[in-house]
A and B are shown apart, each in its own frame.
Chain A
Amino acid sequence: MQAVADIDPVEGRPALIAGDPDFHSITETVAAPMEWTPPRGWYIALGVSLLMLSMLGVSIGWLFWEGVGIWGNNQPVAWGWPIVNFVFWVGIGHAGTLISAVLFLFRQKWRTSINRTAEAMTIFAVMCALIFPGIHIGRPWLPYWMMPVPNSMDMWPQFRSPLMWDVFAVSIYGTVSLLFWYLGLIPDLATMRDRAKTKVRRIAYGVFSMGWRGSQRQWHHYEKAYLLLAGLATPLVLSVHSVVSFDFATSQLPGWHTTIFPPYFVAGAIFSGIAMVVTLMVICRVLFKLESIVNLLHFDRMAKLLLVTGSIVGYAYSIEFFIAWYSGNPYEGFTFLNRAFGPYAWAYWIMVSCNVITPQIFWFKKARTNMTILFIASIFINIGMWFERFVIVVTSLHRDFLPSSWGYFRPTFWDIATFVGSFGLFFTMFCLFVRFLPMVAMAEVKGVLPEAHGRPPEPETDMPAIDVSATETAQVAGTARVP
């Protein structure tokens, strides 16, 4: 399809990249943040992030010294914030894979402006996620027990446990995301290598670009590998949050055991992740002067994705509620009434208003293209999605089957410090990323410019090609680009 930057006949679809850029100006725009002295805002952000990161360090240090008793986890809510935070962070990561892989398969070329950042976010989010089960195991020097490695005790992991599936799913997700991200980075790293003014930069970018020279014989295999990785990452991203949902849904606990969990978790994960991309992009495009590359069109599309995934989440909430009644299972019914009207009703209604009501504002185009509204709504959605996991974990546990085992979960200072600290890790990584790596996939953005086309290839098929030379013709509305 040649008509990438064509004006859409219906909506006057704006060009993917605003202004009238050429290949060189894109290189300049994207490379600038890595070559300037960074703006003061960057130093402030890095400083605050490092401060939060050190809070994470202290929290984990104290945890290892003292034990998991410093957290609010206790009977009946034995799974507290650590699992909430784990699911929250894994979910954030999913938008990166959606944007880089799923939208790629659906030929959504607008993704090229935001996919690099979204993928980076995926990797950092998975790093944050992996911390929580890692430090939650009580004896943090024994995590290798979760790996199938021969050991002197002659013991092996118990693969029927969904928690073991998690270990594999999330670590493989992190690995594959990293591979995908790195593959996409190679041509851009070569650009940085060729622009490098200092020897250190030249060597560093040179090593990681592996001798890329933009050769068609390389691009040929590169494109194939990229397409296949996108094809693999798509079912992977579905499976990862499905596996996370299995942690809950394989149990017999009311509110956890329900068959809609896998697709519902996946939709929720993408929902929260896109919200995070919006939050970050609203800031970054201003800070690093990327307004022409990341423009209103991209926000409009992301807001629509928020509306879609938010509605799917709303659908799941409603169906769960209905089936809780329909099942006739008194425990199931009680759990859901308890969610909405019990001691944690405040959390439930925060969840509903943030996740279901907030995104409804995106029915309006004005809201989809207004940075202030986007920013505020995306923050609300992030909060709402954290609360969704909180509601799922805590409300299903805090009133056990016997009223004598009822309780009320309260987080401790260290719960909060660890969670806030994990944002420190995320933002520190993100600050370093925007400083040292190209935050927009230059090669891909250049490839969607209107002047980037050679000529379409000849088809290999036994089906008839389009024949526009017939004598008796009906004119079709609109016009197309013909090379």
Chain B
Amino acid sequence: MSGQAASTEYGLLAEFQTPEHLYQACEKVRDAGFSHWDAHSPFPIHGLDKAMGLKKSPVSLFVLVLGLSGATIGMLMQWWVATKAYPLVISGKPLFSWPAFIPIAFECGILGGAVGALLGFLSQARLPRPHHALFNASRLERVTDDAFFISIETADPNFDRESTAQLLKDLGATHVEAVAA
């Protein structure tokens, strides 16, 4: 951490004019070796994750694990109920009538996968998070409307109040401001 960055500061927030400007700036910030930084936009910009150098999202793993568990639990539950807990012969079918148990096992698998997608997203995106230092910058309110930003944290080892601000300006930022922590 660079010495002069006050601990009461979260970092810098730079505004860019268009998605294309943002995209090009992200590539440069990535190449400058920053790690504690982020881009902000009103909608997902195709390819920006690669421009930022983000790793593959692990949400699919959540879906796979919870989805398979859901289907397995669904099938086991029906097996246990039908053969152990309450064995009852219905319309001459075997106690473990697997074809009849597939629909519910399938639905449980889908439920598990869907819950997995939501949990995966929330845990990876670190939500819910009612407050965040960036909300101190009233300018950022427009990110949910039509504005594009890059934020770089003071916590980044490469962060330097002056040179980082200059870098962002050089990349075409129309406005750079410090954000209180």
Contacts and interface: CB of A to CB of B under 8 A. Distances in A.
Nearest to A222: B121
Interface residues of B, number: 74
Interface of A: 22-24, 27, 148, 154-162, 164-165, 168-169, 172, 175-176, 179-180, 183, 187, 190-191, 193-195, 206-207, 210-225, 228-229, 232-233, 235-236, 239, 242-243, 246, 442-444, 446-447, 451-458
Nearest to A240: B107
24 contacts: A159-B104, A162-B103, A176-B110, A187-B144, A194-B141, A195-B144, A210-B130, A211-B131, A212-B127, A212-B144, A213-B134, A213-B140, A223-B57, A225-B118, A232-B63, A239-B103, A447-B43, A452-B19, A454-B20, A454-B23, A454-B45, A454-B47, A454-B51, A457-B46
A159 B81 contact: yes
A454 B148 CA distance: 12
A67 B81 CA distance: 31
B90 interface: yes
Contacts of A228: 59-60, 63, 113, 117
Contacts of B104: 159, 164-165, 168-169
A159 B100 contact: yes
Interface in B79-126: 81-82, 85-86, 88, 90-91, 93, 97, 100-101, 103-104, 106-108, 110-111, 113-115, 117-118, 120-122, 124-126
Interface in B130-181: 130-132, 134-135, 140-146
Contact of B130 (A164, A169, A206): A206
Contacts of B118: 179, 183, 225, 229
A453 B39 contact: no
Between A156, A190, A228, A232, the greatest number of chain B beta carbons within 10 A of the residue's beta carbon is seen for: A228
Given A160-B91, A232-B63, A454-B20, A216 B41 contact: yes
B88 A224 contact: no
A210 B59 contact: no
A229 B38 contact: no
A20 to B, nearest CB: 15
B48 interface: yes
Nearest to A246: B103
Contact of A194 (B45, B113, B145): B145
Contacts of B67: 232
B143 A213 contact: yes
A455 B43 contact: no
Contacts of A24: 145-146
Contacts of B57: 220-221, 223-224
A21 B114 CA distance: 34
Contact of A213 (B44, B59, B120, B135): B135
Given A214-B143, A217-B38, A158 B120 contact: no
Contacts of A161: 90
Among all A-B residue pairs, the 8 with the closest Cβ atoms: A454-B23, A23-B146, A210-B128, A225-B121, A211-B129, A447-B43, A191-B144, A224-B57
A168 B131 CA distance: 37
Given A159-B81, A212-B127, A194 B86 contact: no
Contacts of A447: 43-45
A176 B108 CA distance: 11
Given A206-B130, A452-B19, 15 more contacts: A24-B145, A159-B100, A162-B103, A172-B108, A176-B110, A213-B132, A216-B44, A229-B117, A236-B107, A242-B103, A446-B43, A447-B43, A447-B45, A453-B45, A455-B51
B39 to A, nearest CB: 4
B81 to A, nearest CB: 4
B77 interface: yes
B22 A220 contact: no
B105 to A, nearest CB: 9
